[in-house]
């Protein structure tokens, strides 16, 4: 028995076959669908990158207990379980987060592993003076990415190609062997959308890329600029299709279809202007981000070219692999193996630490927001105090207290720290309820007390099954114990705020006082005539200390993170222009 898991990052379901007719540009996804079972109701769980990979090891969600971080000492790890049962596991990846603070305990769970350097500002090639070590991490990362690209000027040198080369080399070397699991994990089509020229040319992109790395914010660019970014993504997606074809070719060449399971999946999607947003994270978790593609070939059943309507999630993938190799899941795993006798889930829980806590039953999607603008209380529980690319600070560790064990911590007490998640604060978006049957694009939230009550009950039930901390119930205004009732509903109360924030911002070229909107807020408020405009249309941000904003925050930067809705931004723009003209 052998298994191959080909995993992409940020692969959009609505852009690949058979979910859409993308065959002319993406023939290998169509080829894949013909050879596998395509899942139609497959959802992500804990997000983004490393929380999703923790699910692939542990078979359970983690976003209610901690933020981005490594595997914990009490975590089960499917690659480790496979190794303990005589299955050789191998990881080939260019996903740089595996080798950083906040992710450095995952790859060592595999029997063997190899890494292709160069993705997303990976601190790889050193050129003195090309990056300024005193600048912010984001600025340094983009500068380092420009350095790395100098060393990946051909398709053969691209980190995606080198990763697939490594995976196929493992297949070639071990095609005659039994008892192995290969994970080929590609960082692409995650941003930056850096694709070789032959794929860019296929999408009509002939000149140098000028915007292949959109910021995590609301869209301000023109429709033409949005289309250009989308084409850059599609060019990289074309390369991913080519890489998929190489893996399928290896399956054909070595006759692996007879006894080798194949899983092709992703962690989440990526917004390319939908809902007026770029990227992910600070947005509500719309279906473009969480309703993800998933393909399964199980040689024991031979099912192929069909669709599976069961509600399934990322947590089911590791249990599917364990079951295939005849290994029992651990008691702490909450996923289900995607075998023919599995019924699927009654609900799918998903979200990001400190953001909306979401649930779907396959028809309705319920996004529960923080009950208060403070987004508190919010607590983190860990024995591995690292964040994304950073250790916990001395200040964070100065006030930690021991927490009582959770059901899944193997009797261990964790470090409990109080924290905040301004970046992911869901309060401004409000609680949202969508009916996918009548509104598949999630453009019009509904207010239906009966449906919301049922979805809130489902949400609370799944939180309790996962042993969510009491602080999460308080943060969301939900009962940790006892029944859910009408007093716990929020969609009606949040409707006005939610609907205002669903409206996309105006494009930059439509704003007449853009220079004032881009001025640091502290400077803008020094001028009484401008302060009066801000106090009239955005009174909550007239004092930056209230929101804990960065010193250089401007009205436009706050608006791009949903701090100022579209109607207020338009009013600010118009009245600031009038105030300046009246000077």
Which two tokens mark 276? Answer: 């007026």
Q: What whole-number distance in Å separates Cα of residue 75 and Cα of residue 57?
A: 8
Residue 550: its pLDDT value, please? 74
382-408 pLDDT, tens per residue?
Answer: 999 999 999 999 999 999 999 999 999
Q: Quick check: 577 pLDDT over 90?
A: yes
Residue 66 backbone dihedrals phi, psi, to 5 degrees: -160, 165
Residue 493 backbone dihedrals phi, psi, to 5 degrees: -65, -30
pLDDT category at 544 given cuts 50, 70, 90 is: low
Q: Quick check: 76 pLDDT over 70?
A: yes
The CA-based angle 36-38-42, given to 5 degrees, is: 140
Q: Quick check: 444 pLDDT over 60?
A: yes
Residue 79: its pLDDT value, please? 98
10-33 pLDDT, tens per residue?
Answer: 999 999 999 998 678 899 999 999
Q: What whole-number distance in Å separates Cα of residue 405 and Cα of residue 400?
A: 15
Lowest mean pLDDT among 157-161, 185-189, 304-308, 416-420: 416-420
97-133 pLDDT, tens per residue?
Answer: 999 999 999 999 999 999 999 999 999 999 999 999 9
324-373 pLDDT, tens per residue?
Answer: 999 999 999 999 999 988 899 999 999 999 999 999 999 999 999 999 99
Calculate what percentage of the chain has a pLDDT beyond 90.
93
Residue 29 backbone dihedrals phi, psi, to 5 degrees: -70, -35
**DSSP assignment string, 161-193:** HHHHHHHHHHHHHHTT--SEEEEEE--TTSSS-
Q: Quick check: 432 pLDDT over 90?
A: yes
Q: Quick check: 229 pLDDT over 90?
A: yes
Q: Quick check: 81 pLDDT over 90?
A: yes
Q: What is the DSSP letter of 464?
A: H
pLDDT category at 583 given cuts 50, 70, 90 is: low
304-324 pLDDT, tens per residue?
Answer: 999 999 999 999 999 999 999
User: Are 293 and 25 spatial neighbours (Cβ–Cβ below 8 Å)?
Assistant: no
Find the mean pLDDT for residues 206-225.
93
**DSSP assignment string, 55-115:** HHHHSS--TTT-SS----TT---HHHHHHHTT-EEEEEE--GGGGSTTTTTSGGGSSEEEE
Residue 174: its pLDDT value, please? 98
DSSP element (H, E) containing 224: helix 223-253
pLDDT category at 552 given cuts 50, 70, 90 is: confident
Q: What whole-number distance in Å separates Cα of residue 365 and Cα of residue 289?
A: 13
Sheet holding 357-360, edge to edge: 46-47, 348-352, 357-360, 364-368, 432-435
Find the mean pLDDT for residues 263-267.
98
456-507 pLDDT, tens per residue?
Answer: 999 999 999 999 999 999 999 999 999 999 999 999 999 999 999 999 999 9
Residue 545: its pLDDT value, please? 54
Residue 208: its pLDDT value, please? 84
Q: Quick check: 549 pLDDT over 80?
A: no
274 φψ region: left (φ > 0), alpha (ψ -120 to 50), beta (else): beta
Residue 64: its pLDDT value, please? 98
Whether omega for the bond prior to residue 227 falls within 30 degrees of 0, making it cis, is no
Residue 340: its pLDDT value, please? 80
Q: What whole-number distance in Å separates Cα of residue 61 and Cα of residue 473?
A: 16
Residue 423: its pLDDT value, please? 67
More confident residue, 207 or 376: 376
Q: Residue 148's closest CA among 130, 169, 121?
A: 121
Residue 206: its pLDDT value, please? 86
Q: Residue 380's closest CA among 412, 352, 415?
A: 415
């Amino acid at each position: 028995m052998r298994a191959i898991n080909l995993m992409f990052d940020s692969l959009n379901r609505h852009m690949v076959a058979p979910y859409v007719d993308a065959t002319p540009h993406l023939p290998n996804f169509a080829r894949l669908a013909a050879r596998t079972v395509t899942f139609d109701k497959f959802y992500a769980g804990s997000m983004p990158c490393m929380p999703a990979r923790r699910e692939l090891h542990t078979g359970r969600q983690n976003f209610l207990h901690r933020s981005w971080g490594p595997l914990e000492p009490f975590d089960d790890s499917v690659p480790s379980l496979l190794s303990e049962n005589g299955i050789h596991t191998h990881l080939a990846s260019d996903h740089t987060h595996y080798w950083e603070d906040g992710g450095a305990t995952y790859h060592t769970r595999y029997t063997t592993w190899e890494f292709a350097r160069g993705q997303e500002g990976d601190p790889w090639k050193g050129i003195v003076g090309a990056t300024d070590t005193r600048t912010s991490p984001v600025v340094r990362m983009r500068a380092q990415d420009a350095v790395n690209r100098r060393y990946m000027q051909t398709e053969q040198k691209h980190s995606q190609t080198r990763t697939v080369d490594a995976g196929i080399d493992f297949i070639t070397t071990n095609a005659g062997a039994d008892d192995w699991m290969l994970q080929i994990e590609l960082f692409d089509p995650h941003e930056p959308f850096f694709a070789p020229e032959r794929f860019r040319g296929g999408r009509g992109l002939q000149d140098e890329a000028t915007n292949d790395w959109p910021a995590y914010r609301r869209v301000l660019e023109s429709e033409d600029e949005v289309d250009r970014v989308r084409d850059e993504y599609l060019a990289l997606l074309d390369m991913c299709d080519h890489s998929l074809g190489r893996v399928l070719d290896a399956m054909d060449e070595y006759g692996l279809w007879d006894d080798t399971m194949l899983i092709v999946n992703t962690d989440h999607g990526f917004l390319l202007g939908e809902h007026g947003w770029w990227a992910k994270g600070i947005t509500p978790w719309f279906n473009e981000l969480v309703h993800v593609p998933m393909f399964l070939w199980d040689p024991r059943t031979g099912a192929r070219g069909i669709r599976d309507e069961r509600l399934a999630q990322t947590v089911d993938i590791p249990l599917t692999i364990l079951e295939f190799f005849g290994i029992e899941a651990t008691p702490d795993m909450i996923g289900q193996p995607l075998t023919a006798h599995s019924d699927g889930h009654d609900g799918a829980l998903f979200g990001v630490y400190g953001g909306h806590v979401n649930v779907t039953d396959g028809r309705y999607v319920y996004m529960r927001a923080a009950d208060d603008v403070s987004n508190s209380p919010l607590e983190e529980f860990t024995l591995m105090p690292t964040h994304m690319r950073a250790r916990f600070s001395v200040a964070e560790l100065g006030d930690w207290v021991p927490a009582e064990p959770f059901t899944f911590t193997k009797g261990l007490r964790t470090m409990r720290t109080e924290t905040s998640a301004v970046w992911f604060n869901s309060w401004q978006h409000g609680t949202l309820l969508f009916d996918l049957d009548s509104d598949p694009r999630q453009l019009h939230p509904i207010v239906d007390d009966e449906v919301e009550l049922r979805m809130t009950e489902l949400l609370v039930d799944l939180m309790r099954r996962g042993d969510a901390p009491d602080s999460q119930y308080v943060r969301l205004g939900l009962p940790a114990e006892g029944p859910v009732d009408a007093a716990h509903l929020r969609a009606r109360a949040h409707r006005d705020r939610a609907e205002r924030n669903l409206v996309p911002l105006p494009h930059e070229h439509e704003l007449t006082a853009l220079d004032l909107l881009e001025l640091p807020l502290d400077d803008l408020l020094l001028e009484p005539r401008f302060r009066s405009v801000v106090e009239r249309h955005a009174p909550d941000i007239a004092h930056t200390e209230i929101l804990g904003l960065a010193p250089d925050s401007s009205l436009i930067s706050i608006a791009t993170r949903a701090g100022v809705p579209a109607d207020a931004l338009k009013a600010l723009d118009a009245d600031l222009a009038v105030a300046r003209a009246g000077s």
